[in-house]
Structure 1
Amino acid sequence: MESSSKIPLSYSLWSPHDTVKDAAESLSINLPEEAAKNLAMDVEYRIHEILETAIKFMRHSKRKLLMTSDISNALKVLNIEPLYGYDNSQPLVFKEALVGAGGQTLYYIDDNEIELEKLINQELPKVPRQTTFTAHWLAIEGVQPMVAQNPLPAEIKSLPPIIRGATSSILGNDILSLGQNGENKDSAQGSAATKDKKATEKQSEVKPLVKHVLSKELKLYFDKVVEVLISTDPEKENLKVAALNSLKNDPGLHQLVPYFIQFVAEQITNQLRNIDILSTMLEVISALADNKTIFLDPYVHALMPCILTLLLAKRIGPVIRETSSKESQDTLKTQLAVREFAAFLLEHIIKVYGSSYSTLRPRVTRTLLRALLDSTKPVGTHYGALLGLKNMGTEVVKLVLIGNLKVWCKSVVENSDKTDFEKDILLNESLEILDSLKVELPQDEESMDTDSGFSEEIKNKLKDRIGDTLADLVLQHRDAKDIVRGLFFGEVVV
């Protein structure tokens, strides 16, 4: 019974349980032998538990050295009051002393003594700064601005192409495929190729064509949209509508804007005989202009030549030899519809971006007037010039067009070899422009004027202002009085 009830001894520092008894005696506690042994084993169990938890923290920290922070974290996890006064940055210095008559060695930690007066007179630490937040532009329209928060271009160029996001090199090689193929080659061949490449780079310096690199997704998007836009397959008409809606509404297309504008310019230059392609290109310009997430101000100078080309070009679409047949007349009307669309886009661009470019409106007006007064131009050019001047506003019509109508009508309409169908188109458009200037009187004043005719003086002034042909058309118009009143506003009483 005595052997079975004998409490096994501990195998740790507390194995001679005299340490427990010494600690109890220092606190003036008389501890029995069995209680001291049980307490020693419980302390050993607690120490093992703390060490196992601390080792877990050490292994999860990818370390092989157990630190005091691991012990502190283990104490927190086990809900034990942590130790105070120990820091990893300050190594523990142990000193030894002889205790008792037998000269037993005792090791202890030497605590630094701090003078109270020195601590009081010491300067207070600086108050930490308040947390603040600042904002800066990481990129504007795909271009990184030169600010202190962004890395320098030299630092970006020093990085490998794959890290900085490039998928193709300057010479057009696919970096990703090159990297995959290079892994399968021998190391000797790789080192030789690297040496040859460095020697080539030293001899010749290749400058990139663009400042930014498109992602694979944007490249795929651009290729698919371009393929659909120039397709003549009727089955892809729905895809074309979807592509135009995407250009009109989707955000994040700012990097592709110069590529789309270049694509439109190339198509207009090379496909002037294809009415469908020209109409599609105008729809692309309209979609880009309507997209509120795209900043088009830097590209207005590239858009204006495209629009003015379709507005004032000598020939767009198939060549028309004569306009006597119904088919040729319909073809001419189709071409003029494209010019009307171009005139509408011209008006939109000038209204939106005219304030940013102060010289845009006068330059375009000068170009339109020069094309209008050139008697060698075909009917399409004159029609487009009239549409453009009309959409520039009533001020431009009064100051620029009205003063030149008489000369234009005499040289282009009366003394030209144009057919009657073409002359009727130009005269009707001129009459519509004049109709836009009409001034209507209130109903009470108009009812008092019962005389619907014009005096000879007013007729002569009208013919002197716009020419005989246009004057006769105006006098036959149902709103002749309002038109004449708008032409001579403030000069004569009608």
Structure 2
Amino acid sequence: MDSSSKVPLSHSLWSPHDTVKDAAESLGINLPEEAAKNLAMDVEYRIHEILETAIKFMRHSKRKLLMTTDVNNALKVLNIEPLYGYDNSQPLVFKEALVGAGGQTLYYIDDNEIEFEKLINQELPKVPRQTTFTAHWLAIEGVQPMVPQNPLPAEIKSLPPIIRGATSSMLGNDILNLGQSGDNKDSAQGSSVATKDKKPTEKESEVKPLVKHVLSKELKLYFDKVVEVLISTDPEKENLKDAALTSLKNDPGLHQLVPYFIQFVAEQITNQLRNIEILSTMLEVISALVDNKTIFLDPYVHALMPCILTLLLAKRIGPIIKDTTSKESQDILRSQLAVREFAAILLEHIIKVYGSSYSTLRPRVTRTLLRALLDSSKPVGTHYGALLGLKNMGSEVVKLVLVGNLKVWCSSVVENSDKSDYEKDILLSTTLDILRKLKITVPQDENQMEVDGEGFSEEIKTKLNDSIGDTLAEIVLDQDDAKDIVRGLFFGELVV
């Protein structure tokens, strides 16, 4: 670098001579060159800081135009005294005046003159109310706490079902009256009696709900169209049905309609248990709602589980089958079992996704499935659904819950029942597939069970018969992968 070149006095856009020194001279201060340069750089830094903060306020306000209010807010945040006298709420009125002999035009802002006496005699404005708010728990895990802000159960029970809303289940059952005695057999009958006993001179009071759920016309129209397409049996509307399910799976902004869709699904499952096509469509609706990433479905899991468990464990879904010997009846049975398979897949998905939010969900579902499995009066569809449900609950549930009850189940349901051979084959093959889920394929060493040339040892056969029953043990031993299945059943228990 040439030593003769002149070093700039300032690295700032502000010229020390034109700005800082002029301002200092107007105040009667004589600044040296070095001080003017440093002061100019500091002024530029401060202005940049104020502008960056003001731009943040502008962006958070969803605007693209920087306003004086943004600058004032930035000054307050930086603990700098804000500017006074600038207000962009009213337009600035400029007036012109001639100055000097040459008639130079000068523009200025005309200030409004206010009489001091009028200002003093003016009434003071009302003191604004300070913003306050309160909060309380409306319900905790579905249980309404007894706090003063919440209505008493007696008050809720006295309201009509239409107004109290949340105290009526989606299937029309009154929750408050479920545990009552048989005095009021029918809630509608009781309400009619109360209406007759009411005096005609008594003044009726209208009770309005505290919270009103308002849906836009667009959402109402969307819900009506989707429901119409989903329950339609017209083959030409199959493409519209697929489009509706795709919309439920991917579209955002449907959270307000979730309780309405769940109520719609519950009503259809209750009223259309003989229609396989409708039941499959309702499961697809549940799957679409669960897969929609923009919907917060946690509060509605308790309403979805009865729908899924109904299709998984119901005694009869679809047409009634009297005999399974004909091929047509077998095809109908397979279509019914396919619906139960879909329900089992949905049950597994919901437990995986929402099991952490509801700690009691998995054990409660497991007890329900086991109770349905061990009930010998249930038809083949219920046992098939219970087996699939337990299979999808994981290997730990299969080994601890299912395997421990297989011998009793096989004796009461398969061996000593009036089910046809076709139904028994379905249950036994399904059980075998579940046991294959436990199999362990590892190289055999000295710590594992030994298999002689003719088959398993007598100790292993006895252990297998005692564990899963003679019928299942015989089927397992006839399989090509029997060694792996037995290893999975007795892993860590049997050493030969």
Per the TM alignment, residue 212 of structure 1 is displaced from its structure 2 partner at its CA by 1.6
1:88 and 2:88 matched: no
Name which of 473, 482, 486 aligns with 1:484.
486
The 2-side partners of 1:205 and 1:73 are apart by: 66
Question: Is the Cα–Cα contact under 8 Å of residues 340 and 387 in structure 1 kept in the other structure?
Answer: yes
SS at 2:232 equivalent: coil
Question: Is the Cα–Cα contact under 8 Å of residues 275 and 318 in structure 2 kept in the other structure?
Answer: yes
Q: Which moved more, 1:206-215 or 1:316-325?
A: 206-215
SS at 1:298 equivalent: helix
Per the TM alignment, residue 228 of structure 1 is displaced from its structure 2 partner at its CA by 0.1
Per the TM alignment, residue 254 of structure 1 is displaced from its structure 2 partner at its CA by 0.2
1:398 and 2:403 matched: no
Q: List alignment gaps of at least 5 residues for structure 1.
A: 1-66, 94-169, 171-201
SS at 1:72 equivalent: strand
SS at 2:108 equivalent: coil
Question: Is the Cα–Cα contact under 8 Å of residues 69 and 88 in structure 1 kept in the other structure?
Answer: no
Letter of the structure 1 residue corresponding to residue 111 of structure 2 = D
Query: Structure 1 segments of 4 or more deviating over 4 A?
Result: 443-446, 448-452
Equivalent in the alignment of 1:70: 93
**TM-score normalised per structure 1:** 0.61
Equivalent in the alignment of 1:110: none
Compared CA separation, residues 80 and 240, structure 1 to 2 (3 A): farther
Corresponding residue pairs, total: 316
* Identity in percent: 80
Letter of the structure 2 residue corresponding to residue 317 of structure 1 = G
Question: Is the Cα–Cα contact under 8 Å of residues 435 and 485 in structure 2 kept in the other structure?
Answer: yes
The 1-side partners of 2:93 and 2:455 are apart by: 108
The 1-side partners of 2:91 and 2:323 are apart by: 99
Letter of the structure 2 residue corresponding to residue 471 of structure 1 = A
The 1-side partners of 2:417 and 2:112 are apart by: 100
For 1:173-252, list aligned pairs within 5 A: 203-208=204-209, 211-252=212-253
1:470 and 2:472 matched: yes
Equivalent in the alignment of 1:8: none
Compared CA separation, residues 82 and 289, structure 1 to 2 (3 A): same
Compared CA separation, residues 463 and 80, structure 1 to 2 (3 A): farther
The 1-side partners of 2:308 and 2:484 are apart by: 33
Question: Is the Cα–Cα contact under 8 Å of residues 323 and 421 in structure 1 kept in the other structure?
Answer: yes
Q: List alignment gaps of at least 5 residues for structure 2.
A: 1-89, 99-103, 118-162, 164-202
Compared CA separation, residues 436 and 80, structure 1 to 2 (3 A): farther
Alignment deviations for residues 235-261 of structure 1 (CA, whole Å, 9 cap, x no partner)? 000000000000000000000000000
Compared CA separation, residues 73 and 469, structure 1 to 2 (3 A): farther
Question: Is the Cα–Cα contact under 8 Å of residues 261 and 302 in structure 1 kept in the other structure?
Answer: yes
Compared CA separation, residues 451 and 80, structure 1 to 2 (3 A): farther
Per the TM alignment, residue 69 of structure 1 is displaced from its structure 2 partner at its CA by 5.3
The 1-side partners of 2:393 and 2:309 are apart by: 13
Per the TM alignment, residue 89 of structure 1 is displaced from its structure 2 partner at its CA by 4.8
Equivalent in the alignment of 1:337: 338
Compared CA separation, residues 376 and 204, structure 1 to 2 (3 A): same
For 1:85-484, list aligned pairs within 5 A: 87-91=111-115, 203-208=204-209, 211-442=212-443, 451=453, 453-484=455-486
Question: Is the Cα–Cα contact under 8 Å of residues 68 and 88 in structure 1 kept in the other structure?
Answer: no
Question: Is the Cα–Cα contact under 8 Å of residues 252 and 294 in structure 2 kept in the other structure?
Answer: yes
Per the TM alignment, residue 74 of structure 1 is displaced from its structure 2 partner at its CA by 10
The 2-side partners of 1:68 and 1:465 are apart by: 91
The 1-side partners of 2:94 and 2:432 are apart by: 96
Compared CA separation, residues 326 and 82, structure 1 to 2 (3 A): same
Letter of the structure 2 residue corresponding to residue 285 of structure 1 = I
The 1-side partners of 2:314 and 2:328 are apart by: 22
Per the TM alignment, residue 450 of structure 1 is displaced from its structure 2 partner at its CA by 7.5
Equivalent in the alignment of 2:69: none
Per the TM alignment, residue 313 of structure 1 is displaced from its structure 2 partner at its CA by 0.1
Superposed CA RMSD in Å reads 2.7
**TM-score normalised per structure 2:** 0.60
Letter of the structure 1 residue corresponding to residue 470 of structure 2 = D
Question: Is the Cα–Cα contact under 8 Å of residues 313 and 385 in structure 2 kept in the other structure?
Answer: yes
Question: Is the Cα–Cα contact under 8 Å of residues 311 and 343 in structure 2 kept in the other structure?
Answer: yes
Alignment deviations for residues 352-385 of structure 1 (CA, whole Å, 9 cap, x no partner)? 0000000000000000000000000000000000
The 1-side partners of 2:96 and 2:213 are apart by: 49
Equivalent in the alignment of 1:165: none
